[in-house]
Copies of this chain bind each other. A is one copy, B any other.
């Protein structure tokens, strides 16, 4: 049983242990592992092949919708002075992208060169709209609140002693798929709030905790208030095993130890806030996770004897993958259980151990996903987001490098996060004379009178604040916005309520 020996030697437990490897050592090992993986054709016995195939199909289709925009627009640019240009352009767009182009922009091609920046932004916005419609109508990730997987997962969470799972990944687009892909969690079973550096807002999260507990008291939902379960707050920071000093988290200067420390500090501050503000043993559970944005493997931080999070000691899913790849499903399962808590089967695991076991097994599928479809390590190790998502919502975005998130109520408060996004897109798009597409979103509760109107007002307020803050880009047509709202009480997609590309109505004389 070589692996049990390994477990003992490296202290693979969630309890207090002696120091493990340092971060740098870990990264070097992981890089080597990643290289090893690239060259290996094997897959892990615990990997869910069918799910991988479905997820890849979804990823390819959606990304291809966005990636066909530039070639299509190049073709259209070439024919802008041809006869019957508008009809031809619409035909090409319809065929290649499945969308109509805005006539009021095509219309002007006779008098000035076609505004390709505007067309590019339009296409991104319409592809996002299509994505949203598909997501809410067809549930392609099988994670809606009605889905079997979500119902099962929520039962599982309660079994683990968790009545709400609240995850803050970094805003970085390379973590946009954390929930649905990397951790394989049904999107509707988790509260996701992305923030730059994964530095979530304490007061806002305490409010969410209060709402969650109130619902338990009032409605016994998801369980009765006296049941011994907890609100679990997860922070997912990130690092790059391939280029650790450049492709880590920008908010922490690509210093993964700092990213882990700051994430850990926020988590403890949240716990202390709940414990100090409320009586009767009020508390929360915490989990700190590092994500390698190249291999999608995880480092799950252990707890220290004083209940604090250990910044140094982690369980590496890539190491586990590698150690168990030659085992049968049953043996691999047993090995992982033993690594976590010296138990020999999943049935014997309880609480956080049970949850971590699930995370590890789910992530093994994702490691094989990256191995099979992305040669073990993503080609795009850096940023390659397609648009910035600003506001509150975006339940439908679950693809790596699709969206840079800027969850905010106001630009005034969220400016630091948004500035990072604009900087990233200045490199990605503006450098190529393409605009930064910004989708503004405010979800609202249709049950609350006037909430829809306020969501519309919020969109316009944020749009206005963006046009002031990034005036220089906006004036050059290098930043375009699309305003969207969604009723979170109903299963329907985001509705576009306006765009910076809209035809200006002539003023009356």
Contact = CB atoms under 8 A, between A and B. Distances in A.
Nearest to A209: B214
B276 A448 contact: yes
A413 to B, nearest CB: 6
Contacts of A445: 277
A155 interface: no
User: So how many copies of this chain end up in the complex?
Assistant: 2
Interface in A146-185: none
Nearest to A446: B276
B447 A277 contact: yes
A491 interface: no
Interface string A180-211: 00000000000000000000001100110011
A280 interface: yes
A413 B217 contact: no
Given A203-B451, A273-B448, A282 B412 contact: no
A164 to B, nearest CB: 14
Contacts of A217: 213-214, 217-218, 225
B210 A214 contact: yes
Contacts of A327: none
A94 interface: no
Interface string A220-240: 000001000000000000000
A410 interface: yes
Contacts of A218: 213, 217, 278-280, 282
A275 to B, nearest CB: 9
A465 interface: yes
A497 interface: no
Given A214-B214, A410-B412, A448-B277, A207 B206 contact: no
A269 interface: yes
Interface in A71-94: none
A280 B451 contact: no
A414 to B, nearest CB: 10
A219 interface: yes
Contacts of A413: 409-410, 461
Interface in A418-471: 445, 447-451, 454, 461, 465
Nearest to A447: B276
Contacts of A272: 448-449
A411 interface: yes
Nearest to A213: B214
Interface residues of A, number: 36
A454 to B, nearest CB: 7
A202 B454 CA distance: 10
A488 to B, nearest CB: 11
Contacts of A268: 449
A450 B278 CA distance: 17
B276 A202 contact: no
A213 B202 CA distance: 21
Contacts of A282: 218
A286 to B, nearest CB: 14
B273 A202 contact: no
B412 A269 contact: no
Contacts of A447: 273, 276-277
A461 B210 CA distance: 27
A413 B413 CA distance: 11
Interface in A233-288: 268-269, 272-273, 276-280, 282
Given A213-B218, A278-B218, A451 B202 contact: yes
B448 A206 contact: yes
A468 to B, nearest CB: 9
A449 B269 contact: yes
A277 B465 CA distance: 31
Given A225-B217, A273-B447, A447-B273, A461 B203 contact: no
Interface string A399-412: 00000000001111
A409 to B, nearest CB: 8
Given A203-B451, A217-B218, A412-B465, 4 more contacts: A202-B454, A207-B211, A218-B279, A276-B447
23 contacts: A202-B454, A203-B448, A203-B451, A207-B207, A210-B210, A210-B211, A210-B214, A213-B217, A213-B218, A218-B280, A218-B282, A219-B278, A219-B279, A268-B449, A269-B449, A272-B449, A276-B447, A276-B448, A409-B410, A410-B410, A411-B412, A412-B412, A413-B461
* 3 closest Cβ pairs, A-B complex: A217-B217, A276-B447, A269-B449
